[in-house]
């Protein structure tokens, strides 16, 4: 811990002496501090999974599939909204992926084989929908679920490592979440900038082939990553697996019963479930040439790219100025600003419908950026809080459980938004009631403020759960878990 504090102090002093130069040097010094206090290959893993995976591939996946459903399959926005919710199913199953990686080692390895499995599933799924010609709606949906499953399984492994390091070095927990946010935001920026270009020149279906890049890299990662094999005799493995699963489930149940654990988990779920999304209605209206603004494919990509930049700015604001505030106060004010910024959507639509001056591109960019910044600041403390709730020994599975709860909330949000669009008769060509859907969405965001009392009123460096719970581990213990890339001059022992 002293090393971390010394490094942080050095960065601060350097910045005070060179305020302008610090814009370039501070990120490098910050990364150096992280790699000095943590395993450098763990940091590299975050760049891969969060940057290339969730960032680049996730943003490409979002925009390209929107155009695929609209232009290739020609579905209604409410139907697409329901289908998008199905993408969340692999993320809801994250506790299962967590149990598999924690309790079911393959050839003595708990992580490497599952990277390979995730990569194969994602590569095959993306390839089929890209080169398969006229794919049915059901087949395309299953392929998209496969791509989502690839991202989810890879995410479970790196999240387990993040949770463990956040527990062992709690002072770096906010920094790790900031790094994840920077990586995903930067990757999303590149993905959104490229996606509009690729959709325009390759078409929605041809662009889907690019989603195979990250799964292919994940396969390679599974073969080159170094992980210590579990100890124990071969004939005791089956019995040990059963005991591990039982111990994991009992430990998860014991932990989630603590008010410090179930209350913030409930808030995370409700805050997402009540935040119904009307994204598909907006997308169809944005790109409609008759009653909407008729934004081009490139400009839609630019809007999303600027939103990614705004997300990075939100992470930066949190990291520089807000990470030391108590969780409850920060979440309350961030949620309030998030709800207020959502009103800009409503103003934009009403201005267009009432012909009160044609909304310019600048207004669209500003309203989307405001929502992204406040949304990211709103969510960053909850992610830090999640990592601090995880007991050692089951940190992978328990963090996956918390993210599963989030995903269920996100699923309800998307399906709820789809049902809302359908109830208000928002279709491919009729957007008369889109403003009403946005208004109801914004009201629910303000209602969420009532639930902030569920968030603990403690800071990121204070203990949330007793040390006895945090030190729970499985009875069938293994060597200290390390996950690192194989050095060029080293051999991989299988």
Give the tens place of pLDDT for each residue, 54-68.
Answer: 888 888 888 888 888
> Residue 483 pLDDT > 60, yes or no?
no
Which pLDDT score is estimated for 297?
78
Give the tens place of pLDDT for each residue, 353-409.
Answer: 776 655 566 777 888 888 888 888 888 888 888 877 777 667 667 777 887 888 888
Q: What is the 3-state secondary structure (H, E, C) of 263-318?
A: HHHHHHHHHHHCCCCCHHHHHHHHCCCCCCCCCCHHHHHHHHHHHHHHHHHHHHHH
Residue 265 dihedral angles phi and psi, to the nearest 5°: -65, -40
Which pLDDT score is estimated for 23?
67
Token duo for residue 254: 């014991």
Token duo for residue 362: 């600048």
Report how far residue 494's alpha carbon sits from residue 492's, in angstroms, rounded to the nearest whole number: 6
Which pLDDT score is estimated for 124?
92
Query: What count of Cα atoms within 13 Å lies in the side-chain half-sphere of residue 393?
Result: 21
Percent of the chain with pLDDT over 90: 13
Residue from 349, 409, 413, 415 nearest 382 by CA: 409
> Residue 456 pLDDT > 70, yes or no?
yes
Report how far residue 262's alpha carbon sits from residue 255's, in angstroms, rounded to the nearest whole number: 9
Categorize the per-residue pLDDT at 332 as very low, low, confident or very high, splitting at 50, 70 and 90: very high
Contact status, residue 285 vs residue 303, Cβ threshold 8 Å = no
Provide the sign of the torsion angle of the four alpha carbons 66, 67, 68, 70, taken in this order.
positive
Q: What is the 3-state secondary structure (H, E, C) of 88-141?
A: CHHHHCHHHHHHHHHHCCECCECCHHHHHHHHHHHHHHHHHHHHCCCCCHHHHH
Which pLDDT score is estimated for 387?
75
Give the tens place of pLDDT for each residue, 186-230.
Answer: 888 888 888 878 888 888 888 888 888 888 888 887 777 767 776
Contact status, residue 123 vs residue 212, Cβ threshold 8 Å = yes
Categorize the per-residue pLDDT at 232 as very low, low, confident or very high, splitting at 50, 70 and 90: low
Q: Which residue has the higher pLDDT, 257 or 161?
A: 257
SS3 226: strand
Q: Which residue has the higher pLDDT, 160 or 148?
A: 148
Q: CA-CA distances (angstroms) from residue 2 to 36, 40, 207? A: 12, 18, 49
Give the tens place of pLDDT for each residue, 67-98.
Answer: 888 888 888 888 888 888 888 788 888 888 87
């Amino acid at each position: 811990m002293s090393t971390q504090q010394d490094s942080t102090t050095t960065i601060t002093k350097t910045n005070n002496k060179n305020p302008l130069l610090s814009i370039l040097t501070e990120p490098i010094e910050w990364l150096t501090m992280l790699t000095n206090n943590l395993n450098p290959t763990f940091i590299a893993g975050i760049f891969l999974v969060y940057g290339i995976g969730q960032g680049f591939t996730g943003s490409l996946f979002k925009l390209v599939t929107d155009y695929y459903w609209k232009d290739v399959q020609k579905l209604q926005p409410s139907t697409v909204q329901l289908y998008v919710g199905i993408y969340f199913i692999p993320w809801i199953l994250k506790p299962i992926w967590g149990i598999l990686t924690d309790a079911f080692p393959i050839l003595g390895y708990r992580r490497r084989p599952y990277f390979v499995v995730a990569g194969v599933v994602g590569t095959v799924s993306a390839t089929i929908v890209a080169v398969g010609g006229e794919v049915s709606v059901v087949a395309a949906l299953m392929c998209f679920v496969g791509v989502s499953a690839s991202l989810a399984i890879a995410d479970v492994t790196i999240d387990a490592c993040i949770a463990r390091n956040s527990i062992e070095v709690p002072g770096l927990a906010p920094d790790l979440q900031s790094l994840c946010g920077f990586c995903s935001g930067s990757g999303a920026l590149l993905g959104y900038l490229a996606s509009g270009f690729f959709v325009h020149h390759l078409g929605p279906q041809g662009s889907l082939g690019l989603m195979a890049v990250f799964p292919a890299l994940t396969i390679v990662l599974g073969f080159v990553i170094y992980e210590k094999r579990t100890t124990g005799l071969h004939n005791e493995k089956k019995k040990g697996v059963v005991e591990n699963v039982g111990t994991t489930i009992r430990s998860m149940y014991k932990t989630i019963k603590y008010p410090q654990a179930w209350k913030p988990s409930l808030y995370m779920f409700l805050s997402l479930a009540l935040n119904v999304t009307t994204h598909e209605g907006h997308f169809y209206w944005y790109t409609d040439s008759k009653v909407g603004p008729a934004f081009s494919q490139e400009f839609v990509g630019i809007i999303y790219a600027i939103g990614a930049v705004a997300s990075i700015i939100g992470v930066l604001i949190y990291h520089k100025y807000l990470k030391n505030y108590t969780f409850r106060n920060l979440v309350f004010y961030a949620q309030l600003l998030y709800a207020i910024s959502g009103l800009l959507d409503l103003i934009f639509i009403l201005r267009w419908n009432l012909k009160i001056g044609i909304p310019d591109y600048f207004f669209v960019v500003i309203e989307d950026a405001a929502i992204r910044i406040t949304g990211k600041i709103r969510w960053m403390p909850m992610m830090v809080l999640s990592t601090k709730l995880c007991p050692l020994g089951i940190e992978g599975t328990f963090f996956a459980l918390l993210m599963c709860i989030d995903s269920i909330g996100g699923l309800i949000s998307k399906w709820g938004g789809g049902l809302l669009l359908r109830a208000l008769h928002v279709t491919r060509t009729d957007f008369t009631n889109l403003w009403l859907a946005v208004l109801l969405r914004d009201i629910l965001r303000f209602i969420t403020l009532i639930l902030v009392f569920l968030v603990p009123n403690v800071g990121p460096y204070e203990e949330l759960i007793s040390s006895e719970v945090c030190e729970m581990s499985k009875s069938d213990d293994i060597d200290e878990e390390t996950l690192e890339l194989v050095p060029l001059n080293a051999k991989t022992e299988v």
